[in-house]
Every structure is written in C-alpha cells, then in structure tokens.
Structure 1
C-alpha cells in the first residue's frame, strides 16, 4: 500500500489535495489508521490518482470527475467519452468567450492609455519637510519589486492629492503605504512612479531638517534639497489601484513589542514547504492577545503562515517599539500598523500550507 505522502509525490497531487478529495468522496483511501488518522491507498488507486490529477489540470468540474472515476474501471466507457467531450466543448467555448472579452479589454486599455498620456503633461510644485519625506520613503522602500517581468512595480508610487502625499510600494507579496503632509499643491490628484534608483538618490539628500521641493514636469520628477538635486524620468507604466488592496477592518488585533517579537521570529520555529522555498513563520493569536509561533500547525486551524524575512523587514520599516498586528483567517493578508499612525502600514500575503 502507498502512504499519502508517497501517493502525493508520485501522482502530482498535494497531500492537502488528497485529503480534500477524500472528504469529497472522490478518491477515498483504502484504509485509515484509527489511531493516527493516517491514510493508505491500494496500488490500483495510483492510476485513479494520476487520472484525477490530469482531469484537475484540465479544469473539469468535481461532479464530472467523480463520474469519470466511477466509470473508468468499469464497462461504461461511453459515459467517460461523453463527459470528456462535453468538457472539451466547454473549454473551447470558454476560450472563445475569453478571446472576445480580451478584445474588449484591449480596446478599453487603448482608450485609457490615451487619457493617461494627457494627464502626464501636468506640472506640480510642492514642498515637504525633509524628515517627513525620509520617513515615508524608509517605510515603503523594502516592498518595492525587483522582478524585471513587472516593471510597473519597480518603483515607488507618489500619489499626490490635496494636502497629502501617499507613497506606495508592492511586489505582489507585500504592500507598504505611508502618508506625509505637503504644501503648495492645488489639490488635484497626480500619480507618478519614481524608479527605485531615483528613490534611493532622493533619500540620500534628505539629511536636513528644513523643507525640500518636489517638482513634476510631465514625466520628469525632481527633488531639490539644500541646493542639491536628484532628478530623472518617471516610469512609463500604470501602478495598480492600491486602494482596492487595502485591508478591511476585522480580524484579531494585538499590540506586539517589536524587539521581543523580532527575537522570537529569529530564533523560533520555522517551516519550509519545499527545497529552496523561503522560511515560514506560523503565527497564532491566543485568547489574551499574545502572538505565538506554532510548531504543530495541525492543532490550530486559524494559524497564519508568512514569509519570515518579509515579516522582519516590515517590523523594521515600522520604526516603532510597538506595532499593531492584524491577523485574520489563514488566507487573509496580515497587516502591520503603527499605533500612532494607522494610515502608515504594511500588508503581507499569507502563504498556504499544504498540511
């Protein structure tokens, strides 16, 4: 007999997936240890698992997969052929619909790009306190992407509106937002993406206490600080609408002592789902509000796994002795906020655990 781990390795279905299909009655193990609950499969079930993996990759609905498996080893091969043919027709129709939808989306994008081009002709002049701009750049810089396949994320968004400057960075797995007050702007919203090398050059100039001047002329941005300049071209891309990604209220909120929490993360238990994958810290909030690092994740269904390095970076960027940690379900992003400024925060995507 094959253990669930062997079946997962050889069939291409994860352990968690095999457990799901057991609960769904699609691929039920031949024997379950009554003491440990461990699942075992007959050798002939391996062919069914491989078939299930192929049908799953093809996107067949679960109800049809169940019928295919029930008929596969029997005499009713006609039913199997009919189900496969019907699913292929659905896929072909879905592809046709997708092509039509993408055609419409391309036309909408062409129109939107023309509108955005006209917006990039604007000129902006504003002033901001050097320490305040330095602080917000330090808060978000860690989250900027280095992926060459995603050039629109390879910088920091400067979102200017009213008397506020929001700076935002994301690499899809984490997002950081910080806000600073500005003066001299007329109030209309202007957004530019400043490439990370230019962001770093700007940050190097912010060693004074007085105000600095930020200028945007079309696609060129300039920072003037104490007679020194950092200037360059903005990225010619559109940044994702970060406001749609902001965390919703709810979940568990707890205040953590940053120094103690960092030490616990650096020395505590970690998980790694596969070779070469980042170390994960698995967090749980106890009834009293204390955050603990889990060792046996199966005992806590509400535990949340997160990239440990990303969490350590977010704690450092928070720049406070205490920070607020917001934890929801295992699939809900983690938020790290400052107690004195909840408009400045980081979001970390959770990592799905296989078992």
Structure 2
C-alpha cells in the first residue's frame, strides 16, 4: 500500500502535524520514510493503529515516556507490518502486558486523585468558614489521649519497629534491611521534634512536608553505611495534632484506621506490589492476603528514593470528639483477622488497654513479625 503524506496521516490519526513531528523527535512515532531533500515525512497505513493509540493515551493524560512503553508493549512482534499476520499478532485480553500497563497507570491516577480530593474538600471547608474565629471560641476544646506499644513478636530475633505516642505526634515505623531499626528510629525522631514546635494555624501540611523531607534525609544518612542502601529503610505512618485537626503522612505498608460512629475504616493505602496488583484488577483482596510477595514495598523511606514529598501521602483530617485512631505495623494488620481487629478497637477501654489487647491478639496468631501499634482517642478537654 502507498505512503501517506504527513497531512493525510494527521487527518487519519487525529494527530496534528506538529504533534507528529514532536513524536518523531522523541522516537515515539517515527515516519516510514523521510525525503532526503525536503525532509518531508511519509507514513504507512499500518502505523495508524499505533498513532491512534498514542492519541487515546494522550487524552488520558499519560506522559509521553510512559506512552512509548505502552505502545512498545502493544506492538506485535516484528513491528507494525506484522499486525495483520495472525501468526504473530498477540492475543487481546486481560493477559496482554499493554492492558496491565494502562490499568497500572489509571490506578495510580485514581489514587492520586483520591488524595487530592480529600485535600480539596478540606480547603473548600476551610475557606468557606466565614466565622472560623467565633467557631473556635465557642466549640469545646479537644484533646487526645494516646498510648503506644511495640513488641518483638515470637519469631524475629530483634525489633525493627518503632511506635511513639505523644501530646502532638503519633507515629509507627517498620524498619527493614540491615539497619532497619536505626532507619525507623531516625524517621520517628524527626517527628518527635515536632512536639516542641507548635504548627502555626493553617500550616499543618507545610510543617508535615518539611518533616517528611527531613525524615528522608535522616534515613538516607543512616542507610549510607550499607553496601546496598536502597535495601534498608523504613515505612512511616504518622499524625500531627494541632488541637482541632490531624495531619497524616503515610509511606509504605504500615496503616492508619479511624473508628468513627462505631464504624472502623482504613484511611491509608498500602504501597506494596500486591496492592498495586489489586488496584489493577489482577488480584482479589482475598488472593492478596496470602500472596507470597504481599510485603514487597514499592514506596518507603530508604537510601535510594529518599522518600521525597512526591512519594509520601499527606492529608488533613478534622477531628471529632469520640474518634479513635489506630496506627499499626503490618505485624498486626497482616496477622490479626479483620473482625478481631475491629472488635478490639471498638471495645470500650483506655488506649493503654487497647494496644495491649492488640499486641496480645497478634501473639495468639504466632506473631511472626514485630508488632507495633498506637491508639489515640479524641476527647473534649476537661480544661
């Protein structure tokens, strides 16, 4: 079949000539022939399928570098000219690697959108409070009552977890690798310093961003002594309290839960390979629970990525009297059945008794990993 001019190809593919020239320069969609004298580009009809895929992926907002990866995965063996050969064309369906790539991208978009949605909701609420000052004066003051407990478990020789509960800071870190205990302690220590640094009104997220960056640098300093620093690091799930709100930071597979009005809900998203497969529809939650790679992290504070602000999730939560928060390492959440976890958290009792009960539940299940948890109750202040 004959060659198509760039104008004809642009019309057929719904890509502008300007976009086609850019994609040629980037190696994403090279023309079949370039006139050596005029530099005019020509395409073959078999390239239309790739061009249309590029156009669709651009409408999704996918970056060009990632579009190239998806297109290469979708390309039949032997190049575009093999597309009509049934012997070389890849089978369509759920097992196609290009399908997984698109699902993975969209799952990440939805996760990022969910985090931004919660922040947007907070900002709309914050900016619409015309009588915020008066509300602050008339609303009953709140306080938190909290407790933390960390246990080595019944199998591990050492404890690489850290659990901390203070007047303003709650934190759980689960270290891994040769200096995991030191990495977790370094990250939590950065957040402990916030106890003496009250956050200005409206600046909770700014304070949290700075703390995450400093925690990443602290962990990087600890892991630098390792031959493979990227293989040592820590998860971190922490909350900063200002008297009316809790700012949450999360990276890794430690978790945060909220008990409100008798309903226990998880408010963090695991940053693991298996959770990504669940998000992509490749695994069910039931399959994920017993998957051999369920603890394989895709995000953490470590000597490689450093846990930049773009990797850690941060959000704000308005506190209510009666709320109960649980922060825990996967030594608890991955071992204790969900119904038992819910029963222990919803039971009446002081935080000290609840954390002791949670650790005991993990030990009854064999406690194959370190177990750490923090429980914090939001109450009306007696002052």
Hey, which of these two has a bigger chunk of strand by percent?
A: 1
Tell me the TM-score normalized by structure 2: 0.28
